[in-house]
Amino acid sequence: MAIARKPAKAVPAAAVKAAPVLTLVEPAAIARNAQENFRKAAEQSMEQTRAAYARVKAEAETASGSIGTSFSAAREGIDSFNNMAFDAIQTHTRANFDHARALLNVKEPKDIFALQSEFARKQFEAVSAQAKMFSSRLQKIAADAVEPLKAAVAAR
């Protein structure tokens, strides 16, 4: 048994798409195009690298300035603390010499005990006051030294 086939319909000429025309590209044109693309990519990369370097440099300068300011504040604070400590030592030395002179002028033993207890009380009060003063000064030195760094971090 034979199968009957239908005759093919004619396709209008306008409906037929033209086959794409293949054009040959010269190897020199390909090389020029590749070079141009590579040059553009390299220039773009250099611009990005320059911008990143500028940002890093600016951040490093800011950090360096903050650290320098912090060290300066710490150095000034330590200098003032050392001066306070030297003054305290001088005060205690004078008090000890004055106490020794007073002991040399005592006539009776009971006056020695009274003088000694008075001296001990005054020294205890002086040392307590100086300890509070030193403590508050050290806290201020630390706060002053850290402030430039905190400001730089907060600005970021």
Distance of CA 63 to the CA centre of its chain: 5
Instruction: Encode pLDDT of 75-87 as tens digits.
Output: 999 999 999 999 9
In a domain, 43, yes or no: yes
In a domain, 5, yes or no: no
In a domain, 17, yes or no: no
Give the rounded percent of residues in the chain with a pLDDT score beyond 90: 46
The rounded distance, in Å, linking the Cα atoms of 78 and 138 is: 8
In a domain, 125, yes or no: yes
DSSP state for residue 3 in the 8-state scheme:
P
pLDDT for position 63: 81
pLDDT for position 140: 93
Largest CA distance in the chain: 156
What pLDDT band is residue 135 in, cutting at 50, 70 and 90? Answer: very high
Q: Give the pair of three-digit tokens for residue 112.
A: 């020695």
In a domain, 16, yes or no: no
SS3 content of the chain, % helix, strand, coil (to 5): 80, 0, 20
The rounded distance, in Å, linking the Cα atoms of 125 and 131 is: 10
In a domain, 11, yes or no: no
- At residue 11, does pLDDT exceed 60? no
Instruction: Encode pLDDT of 28-73 as tens digits.
Output: 778 788 888 888 999 999 999 999 999 999 888 888 888 888 899 9
The 3-class SS string of 103-152 reads HHCCCCHHHHHHHHHHHHHHHHHHHHHHHHHHHHHHHHHHHHHHHHHHHH
| Model confidence, pTM | 0.59
In a domain, 77, yes or no: yes
DSSP state for residue 10 in the 8-state scheme:
P
In a domain, 12, yes or no: no
114 is in which domain, residue-wise?
29-155
Our count of domains for the chain comes to 1
